[in-house]
Structure 1
Amino acid sequence: MGHRLTEAKNLNNIGKIYMQQKDNATAISYLKQALQTHLSIGDNESYPLVLYNLGLAYMKNNQLEQALHYTQLAAETAERYQANDLLMRSLTQEAAILHQLGNDTRAFQQLQRANRIKDSIFSLQQTEQIEELKAKYETERYLMENSNLKLANQKNEIIIKQQKLLFWLLVFISLLLLLFVWLILQRRRTADHLKAIEMEQKLLRSQMNPHFIFNSLTVIQHYILKKNTRLALNQLSALATLMRLILENSSQVFISFGKELKTLRLYLDLQQQRFAGQFDYRLVFDPSLETSMLSIPPMMMQPFIENAIEHGFIGLEEKGLIQIRYKLDNNILRCEVEDNGIGIDASMKAKTGTEHQSLGL
């Protein structure tokens, strides 16, 4: 049966090649042989595609009645086996044939049906992408929680070790001055290590703010409901890229200036979509900095930018504008954030009684 199935598929492919060469009569001959072979071996999954190709060959050969017959058979069979993509193509081809036969009413009905199936396929694909993104986020959050637990255990172990060292310090301080000096130095190194661990914990917890991700997914869901495919896919891609960059950067003390700019642009673009274009932003820097070997802490400017977005534009009548400037002055990188918002005093009054959790450090 495997040999016969291969033979049937080869006959179908040969028919398609002859169609591409516009030798439709020869194509029909090979496709009919492929159809008979599929039927003889009882292969019910592959022969609907042969029916579709046979209808297409007849249509190209201007034999519309035969084309309609085989295309309708392809649609019926595809529907029976829930082959939605082939069903959509068959209905679209059937509408084209009916239009050529002058039956525009029936053609319009079949075309509408094909569009409904197309929408359902698209909706299913988008739902699967959203679920995949949610599953990926949950997995990453689980890994982060495990990492935090491991860091906490390391911290407790270091504290216990420090207490033991201090105990022995008190016992032998009068006899072993050199040991006392060594223990002091060890204590300082331990304190620095603890501080680094605490900062890493805060970075891991804060840079993946569920509130920000939920708002971004809500914007994507809005685009999907509005059937704005391009914007929905762009937002999905931008959010996934930002999440990947944040996770990569969170394990590093310094990153390149170019990578920092890429992360910052993604964050600002997502915030613009979230706030429906209520503000613009402008990055001002020497172009040579983007390709230089300069390294800076990750997301260093993000907390200041977020404060400007969340609080600076409250009640602002005109469109907001944030300007971020980077300037190298005597080997010192100067960073500035400026906005045309309502000011710190007015912002503090406006946000009284509300809470806000920053995305960054």
Structure 2
Amino acid sequence: MKQFIIIPFLFFISFSCFSQRERYNMDSLIVEAVKQKQNDYYELNRFFKRAKFQKEEIDFFLKESEKNKYPLGEVFAYNLLGRHYRNNSFFEQATEYYLKALEISREIKNVNAEIVTLNQVGVVYRRQDKIRSALNYHQMALELADKVEFPDDDTKVSISISNNSIGNIYLTLKQYQLALEKFKKSILIQEKLGDKRGLAINHQNIGFAFQNLGDIDAALEHYHKSLDYNIENNSDFGKVICHQSISDVLLLQRRYEEAYKYISEVVSISEEIGNQYYTSEVFSTLGYVQLKLDSIKIAEVNLEKGLAIATKHKIPSGINKSNLYLSELYEKKQSYEEAYSYYKKAIEGERKTFNDKNILYVNTLISKYDNEVSENKIKNLAKENEIAKLKLLRNRNVLIIALVSIALLGVLLYSMYRQRLLNNDKKILKLEQEALRIQMNPHFVFNALNSIKLYVINNEQKNAVHYLNKFSKLIRNILESSTVKEVTLSEELKTMNLYMSIENIRFSNEINYIEKVDSNVNSERIKIPPLILQPFLENSIWHGLSSKKGDKEVILTVKKESDEFIQIDITDNGIGRDAAMKIKNSKSLNRKSIGIYLTKERLRNFANEYKNDYSLVYTDLVDEKGKVKGTMVTLKLPIL
């Protein structure tokens, strides 16, 4: 009897000692990493060789990094905390830690850390069916990675992850062909790099796309490929996902016994891993298979368990799925009132998170946007090529005219050269303006469509139609004005009013935009260059007001200073130019803005045909105490 008592005791002691040694080794590894202070995020990740961190070890890592002033270590630790809470389906806590990691990575201007973290934030939002936020973060990660001049393998992996994640968002939006295009881009990179984990994920996603396109055989083939990679990688988490997907396909084929075999094999593994998102899926699928096999009682237990997990962790897709299966169960039990109740909950939940008609409509706009981006890139390359040719021609003419001037009449030839140079400069300026519009339109169109898409997703049809009408008028005005040299002041003000309405959506209509035109100004007769006020309004919004808390206001005032000039003042109550410059300098990537520079060139070209010149003055506004209260741009234009 004593022997039976001693053996378990010795086993417990040896297991405790092993756990302590393992914990001690992990702590030593963390101390060594903090001591080395590696400044490359990917190298820091490789240092731990995919080690499995416990919560206590992550807290220790964070504490050591803070104590030793190692910010990249803090980013890494916060990302580990985000993954820990995400895998346990505590999405709010996961988002909080990921955003802390993102903030620090931007402060230290570590692009690699920022790309990785942006993708992680996108994944959390995608798990919660917050499609717009997820798309924005993955798009930011992809844009940042694409700007790396000479991407290494790690950056290519990040690009692959971004494409894969955007593909998953297209799956949610039921745009399966678009999703397949993204997955194919991702899988090409993974095959070149031999990334088996990425290949497992992508084959799983491709299988899901084919399943929803009705190609069941192709879906099953890709699910099995994914399973093979996960077995090779010894990934229990991957096995759970693959078994779940294969069971779904077998259910569609009415191969219930096989479906039960696959799903029952991963129930205990899923619970052990602790990812509540997939644990909810597993129990719902298990219950549904048992329902099909007429095991009503145990099916009800498992379906209720899946519903409870999804409800606790706020997983909309899991709640809807469980409610739908429970409806079928109670119908089979002939409890029609309860069956109807669950069915109603499932349908209402589906309508709340997804509206087929509206989503497909928005995705038609997204498809058109993608086509427009491609066309504009081609046009932009053609324009840039033409600019280069004109610049080469101008340089050649400079040399020819200089040589001829020495031999012949210098004054006459110099005059001809100046005239030709001026004509070429005008052509170049015009082409640069067109190239700028082509570059600006896709960016503005994408943001505008994303903003309008939120109204559509939230089923706010009046707002969606209202802003789509304004958006279409604005695009039409931009296209029309791009073909003329001058427009009336009245037309320009209408276009700017539309532009401010569209931009204001992204600020939840918090910006109060006011136009004041003096009665002695005949806006129908005064001519100005088209879209000349847009860059100044854009600066007021994004540099002056975007970082400001509280009331936001932009006032555009037009008055006739004299018979020869009109004066246009654009005033905002923003943070001021000094504060805006500090925020700009703190960003990890600063793109040089050429909008104001080209606007000045256009104004100079415009004023050449008038007796008087234009003037442009920036004024920093302060109150009685000297505190900044905004910025005013004063533009004087000749009218005679």
Q: Do Structure 1 and Structure 2 share a fold, with TM-score over 0.5?
A: yes
Q: What aligned pairs does 1:277-296 form with structure 2 within 5 A after superposition?
A: 277-286=509-518, 289=521, 292-296=524-528
In 2 relative to 1, CA 209–356 (structure 1 residues): closer, same or farther, beyond 3 Å?
farther
**1:336 and 2:553 aligned:** no
Amino acid at match of 1:234: H
How far apart are the structure 2 equivalents of 1:223 and 1:173? 66
In structure 2, runs of 5+ residues without a counterpart are 1-336, 597-640
Measured against aligned partners, the alpha-carbon deviations of 1:16-57 in whole angstroms (never above 9, x if no partner) come to xxxxxxxxxxxxxxxxxxxxxxxxxxxxxxxxxxxxxxxxxx
Give the structure 2 partner of residue 156 of structure 1: 388
Change over 3 Å in CA distance of 1:277–1:174 after alignment to 2: closer
> What are the within-5 Å matches in structure 2 for residues 245-260 of structure 1?
245-260=477-492
Q: Which amino acid aligns with 2:432?
A: E
What's 1:216 paired with?
448
Change (3 A) 1:133 1:183: same
Q: Which residue of 2 aligns with 1:307?
A: 539
Distance 1:260 1:358, change over 3 A: farther
CA distance in 2, matches of 1:130, 1:359: 32
Confirm or deny: 8 A CA contact 1:200 1:251 kept in the other structure.
Answer: no
Task: Give the Cα separation in 2 of the matches to 1:165 and 1:347.
Answer: 43
Aligned pairs, number = 250
TM-fit CA distance, 1:231? 0.9
- In the TM superposition, residue 341 of structure 1 has moved relative to its aligned partner by 2.5
Counterpart in 2 of 1:297? Answer: 529
Cα deviations by residue, 1:88-120 (Å, 9 ceiling, x for unpaired): xxxxxxxxxxxxxxxxx9xx99xx79x98xx69
SS of the residue aligned with 1:318?
coil
Aligned residues: CA RMSD: 3.6
Amino acid at match of 1:135: S
Alignment-mate amino acid for residue 223 of structure 1: Y
Q: 2:453 matched to 1:188?
A: no
Aligned match of 1:236? 468
**Structure 1 residue runs without a partner (length 5+):** 1-104
Deviates more, 1:135-144 or 1:335-344: 135-144
Change (3 A) 1:347 1:160: closer
Q: Secondary structure at the match of 2:586?
A: coil
1:27-106 to structure 2, matched below 5 A, reads none
| Separation in 1, partners of 2:579, 2:522 | 36
Question: Are the structure 2 counterparts of residues 168 and 298 from structure 1 closer, same or farther at C-alpha, using a change threshold of 3 Å?
Answer: closer
Kept after mapping to 2: 8 A contact 1:255/1:297: yes
* Cα distance, 1:259 vs structure 2: 1.9
Cross-structure match for 2:363 = 131
How far did residue 255 of structure 1 move? 1.7
d(CA) in 2 for partners of 1:359 and 1:190? 20
Q: Structure with the greater relative contact order (CA < 8 A, sep ≥ 6): 1 or 2?
A: 1
Match of 1:259, as an amino acid? E
Contact map agreement 1:258 1:289 (CA 8 A) in 2: no
TM-score, normalising length from structure 1?
Answer: 0.57
Seen in structure 2, the aligned counterparts of structure 1 residues 240 and 124 have a Cα distance that, compared at 3 Å, is farther
Distance 2:459 2:474 in 1: 24
Distance change in 2, residues 1:275/1:156 (3 Å): closer
Query: Structure 1 150/280 Cα, relative in aligned 2: closer, same or farther at 3 Å?
Result: same
Matched residue type, 1:216: A
Give the Å deviation of 1:323: 0.9
Report how far residue 189 of structure 1 moved.
2.6
CA gap 1:335/1:215 in 2 versus in 1, 3 angstroms? same
TM-score, length basis structure 2: 0.34
Q: Counterparts of 1:288 and 1:141 in 2: how far apart (Å)?
A: 43
Contact 1:281–1:321 under 8 Å retained in 2: yes
Comparing 263-272 with 157-166, which one deviates more in the overlay?
157-166
Q: Superposed, which structure 2 residues align to 1:14-25 within 5 Å?
A: none
Pair 269,356 (structure 1): closer, same or farther in 2 beyond 3 Å: farther
Q: Is the contact made by 1:314 and 1:350 (CA closer than 8 Å) also made in structure 2?
A: no
Question: How far did 1:229 drift?
Answer: 1.3
